[in-house]
Amino acid sequence: MKVLDAKFVQGFIRMCDDGWQQGWHERNGGNLSYRLKEEEVRQVRTALSFDGAWHPIGTSVPGLSGEFFMVTGSGKYFRNVILDPEDSLCLIELDGKGENYRILWGLCHGGRPTSELPSHLMNHEVKKRASKGAHRVIYHAHTTNIIALTFVLPLKSEVFTRELWEMATECPVVFPSGIGVVDWMVPGGREIAVETSKLMEEYDVAVWAHHGMFCSGEDFDQAFGLMHTVEKSAEILVKMLSIRPDKLQTILPEDFRNLAREFKVTLPEKFLYEK
Q: How far apart are CA 105 and CA 48, in angstroms?
A: 6
- Residue 75 CB, shortest distance to ligand 2HA, in Å, is 7
Q: Which is nearer to ligand 2HA, 187 or 225 (CB)?
A: 187
Q: Which residue is nearest to ligand 2HA (CB)?
A: 187
Q: How far apart are CA 275 and CA 266, in angstroms?
A: 21
CA atoms within a 13 Å half-sphere pointing along the CA-CB vector of 108: 6
Q: Which is nearer to ligand 2HA, 138 or 167 (CB)?
A: 138
Q: Which is nearer to ligand 2HA, 100 or 115 (CB)?
A: 115
Q: Which is nearer to ligand 2HA, 127 or 142 (CB)?
A: 142
Three-point CA angle 49, 55, 57, nearest 5°: 115
Q: How far apart are CA 20 and CA 34, in angstroms?
A: 18
> Under the rule (CB under 6 A), what is the footprint of ligand 2HA?
28-31, 115-116, 140, 187
CA quadruple 241, 244, 249, 253: dihedral positive or negative? positive
- Residue 114 CB, shortest distance to ligand 2HA, in Å, is 7
Side chain identity at residue 13, one-letter code:
I
Burial of 67 (0-12, 13-18, 19+ CB in 10 A): buried
204 secondary structure, DSSP code: S
Catalytic residue list contains 201: no
Helix, strand, or coil here: 21? Answer: helix
Burial of 131 (0-12, 13-18, 19+ CB in 10 A): middle
- Residue 229 CB, shortest distance to ligand 2HA, in Å, is 20
Of 93, 116, 163, 166, which residue is the catalytic one? Answer: 116
Q: Which is nearer to ligand 2HA, 165 or 214 (CB)?
A: 214
Which residues carry out catalysis? 116
